[in-house]
Amino acid sequence: MTQLNEEKLLTELGSLREELQNLMLKKEELRTALHRIREELNNKRDELRKKKNELADVRSRLTLVREEITKAKNNMKVLKEKFTNALNNFRQASSELRAITRSSSYNMAIDELRQRIEGLEWSLITTPNISIEKEKQIVNEISKLEQKLKTLISQQLRYSKVVEDYEKSRRELNELREHINKEKEHLNELLKQLTSLKESRGKIKSEIVALIDNIKQLKNERNELKTQLTSINNTIREKRFQYQEIVKELRRLREESKRKEQYKVLKEKKEHAMERINKGERVTIYDLYIAYGSEANENENDYS
Per residue in 172-213, pLDDT (tens digit) is: 888 888 999 999 999 999 999 999 999 999 999 999 999 999
- pLDDT the model gives residue 171: 85
Q: How confident is the model at residue 231 (pLDDT cuts 50, 70, 90)?
A: very high
> Is residue 270 in a domain?
no
Angle of helix 110-126 relative to helix 132-278, nearest 10 degrees, comes to 160
Q: Look up the CATH number of the domain holding residue 221.
A: 1.10.287.950
49 has a pLDDT exceeding 80 = yes
> Is residue 295 in a domain?
no
> Is residue 281 in a domain?
no
> Is residue 43 in a domain?
yes
103 has a pLDDT exceeding 60 = no
> Is residue 282 in a domain?
no
Q: Which of 115-129, 139-153, 245-259, 280-294 has the highest mean pLDDT?
A: 245-259
- What average pLDDT does range 249-265 have in this prediction? 84
Burial of 92 (0-12, 13-18, 19+ CB in 10 A): middle
- What average pLDDT does range 222-251 have in this prediction? 92
Collapsing DSSP states into helix, strand and coil, what is residue 34? Answer: helix
Q: Give the chain's mean pLDDT.
A: 83
- pLDDT the model gives residue 109: 64
214-226 confidence digits (pLDDT tens): 999 999 999 999 9
- Per the structure, the complete domain to which residue 48 belongs is given by 2-262
> Is residue 298 in a domain?
no
The whole-model pTM stands at 0.60
150 has a pLDDT exceeding 90 = no
**In whole angstroms, what is the distance from residue 1 CA to residue 7 CA?**
10
Q: Can you state the percent helix, strand and coil of the chain, rounding each to 5? A: 95, 0, 5
At 107, phi and psi to the nearest 5?
-65, -30
Percent of the chain with pLDDT over 70: 84
Q: How confident is the model at residue 159 (pLDDT cuts 50, 70, 90)?
A: low
> Is residue 276 in a domain?
no
- pLDDT the model gives residue 297: 47
Q: Are 263 and 299 in contact (CB under 8 A)?
A: yes
Of the listed ranges 6-20, 60-74, 83-97, 239-253, the one predicted with least confidence: 83-97
CA-closest candidate to residue 269, choices 284, 280, 255 = 284
DSSP state of 108: S
> Is residue 67 in a domain?
yes
**In whole angstroms, what is the distance from residue 77 CA to residue 260 CA?**
116
299 has a pLDDT exceeding 50 = no
Convert 54-84 to b/e letters by CB count within 10 Å (16 or more is b).
bbeebeebbeebeebbeebeeebeebeebbe
Burial of 220 (0-12, 13-18, 19+ CB in 10 A): exposed
The number of distinct structural domains making up the chain is 1
Residue 14: Cβ within 10 Å count:
10
304 has a pLDDT exceeding 60 = no
